[in-house]
Amino acid sequence: MENKYSKSKEQNRRSNERKSYNKFNDNKTQSFKKNNQKRSDAYAMEKAKTNRLEFEKFQKLEGKTFKVTCKELDEAGKGIAFYQGLQLHIPNLLPNEEADVKVEKYRGKIDVRVIHYEKTSPIRVKCRCDLFNICGGCQYQHISYADQLRMKNEYIANKFKDLRGNYAIYPIIGMDDFDHYRCKNQMVYGVNKNGSIIAGFYEEDTHKIVNYEDCMIQDLTANKIMKTVKKLMLKYNIIPFNEDSELGLLRHVFVRVGKHSKEVLVALVTASEIFPGRKDFVKDLRKEHPEITTIIQSVNETTTSMVLGDKERVLYGDGYITDTLCGLKFQISATSFYQVNPIQTEHLYSKAIEFAGLKSTDVVLDAYSGIGTIGLIASSRCKEVISVELNKQAFKDAIRNAKINGIKNTYFYNADATEFIKEMAEEKTHLDVLLMDPPRSGSTEEFLYSVSKLQPRKIVYISCNVETQVRDLKYLLRAGYQIKKVQPVDMFPSTKHCENVVLLEKR
């Protein structure tokens, strides 16, 4: 699709207006960064000093047992209690519960663990997962689902309490069936002390693999496929990759499942391109699981925590799956950004489109657009959508998804969202509605400053991190916007996380 703005941008690239704008904006940004760095350095020094003193106090308590009462949960889902002036963060302890706890050194850290409950909370339920106390992935699984939703609503309300305005925070949208909701699934493979192959998850805050193959939030089909892979590794003598020795082949297995299409993508993540017996391995895997529609080999030769690698080889099928979301079809590859909970994503995007109140004459900017999902869904309700995404593969996926759905009023740009909107503001491009779904770190000051210059009629801000969302909303409030509606969506049942949609309008 032709980028109809590209010519005018090239022609104006050296204009005096742009130089003036960039100079002003750069000076403003540098000043902000310098002051922010000073505050950060001072805060870091004070925090380091406090942490050192607290650690010394904790060391004196090592091996001791004492009683505590939980006051509240921290943002990691751990219970906060106090003892001898120390604030303790204790796993598996709920508000108002009383327990005997013990201070222990575990993997080089001082840790506090419950050894006996004196009084339990009425919101506590029996965990459905044997790894709850070890894995750390499902911080709220010991809490009834109704209370999970209540707590998430309270969390949102607490974060928004200092944001001025007359707006509604609606009840969080929950799920009827909150098990096995993930369409994106993965396991890490390794060897235990006995030399047996294991598959599962990293223990919380470690790289120790805990053997477990029946995750309660991962897709059931994905769990079964990952079990089969372990069995085939024994048959074909495939050794799991060892992070310390950097020997072995298979690192992870990554599975995507189409919620509506039921198509299945399997990515075998290896440490090397050389995969002995891969054809027979793939043949056996397909025989065990005929539901698999494509298999790829993802080569990850790095020492980082990233799961998927940069190199990819299709071993079977097309290398992607197709699924339906809000009435449109999307091709999804292993590396595509696609929300992990398709059922709740439909609620999330439908609510965002509803909040936007689009008109047939509207020009919409879809910033941080990923594979173009929300912009393409919005396209039938407006004049045109400008879609901006930095990741090159996601950008290509977005163009392909527009073609699949026959959408011709969406224009795609492979660019940094901040740099792109700065150019829009400089050129005074007309913009009616901004849809933004930034990463967990939130947006940038430069992006928000440019938004304030463009003055779109409405802003719909989607976020998976309420803290950075609130930070950015404060800037937009100062820039002349007002919050009108807030809608939390429980995208991640059994965990502390939730998604949040906010509508802002010009005052």
Asked whether 491 and 464 are in contact (CB, 8 A), the reply is yes
Q: Is 464 a catalytic residue?
A: yes
Provide the token pair at 294: 């494509």
Alpha-carbon span 71 to 94, nearest angstrom: 8
Q: Which of 456, 451, 466, 474 is nearest to 501 (CA)?
A: 466
Alpha-carbon span 352 to 378, nearest angstrom: 9
Q: Which of 175, 215, 159, 139 is nearest to 497 (CA)?
A: 139
Alpha-carbon span 473 to 74, nearest angstrom: 23
Catalytic residue, candidates 138, 183, 215, 464: 464
Q: Which residues are within 8 A (CB) of 169 and not within 5 positions of it... i.e. 6 or more apart?
A: 153, 156, 157, 160, 486, 488
Provide the token pair at 217: 């939030």
Q: Give 302: exposed, middle or buried? Use CB within 10 Å, 0-12, 13-18, 19+.
A: exposed
Alpha-carbon span 148 to 447, nearest angstrom: 34
Q: Which residues are within 8 A (CB) of 180 and not within 5 positions of it... i.e. 6 or more apart?
A: 216, 217, 218, 219, 220
Extended strands (E) in 155-291: 168-169, 184-191, 197-202, 209-211, 250-257, 264-270
Q: Which of 368, 400, 334 is nearest to 464 (CA)?
A: 368
Provide the token pair at 285: 């895997």
Provide the token pair at 459: 């802003």
Q: Which residues are within 8 A (CB) of 366 and not within 5 positions of it... i.e. 6 or more apart?
A: 372, 374, 375, 378, 385, 386, 387, 388, 435
Alpha-carbon span 429 to 208, nearest angstrom: 52
Sign of CA dihedral 87, 88, 89, 95: negative
CA atoms within 13 A on the CB side of 75: 9
Extended strands (E) in 427-489: 433-436, 458-463, 481-489
Strands 384-389 and 79-83: unpaired
Q: Which residues are catalytic?
A: 464
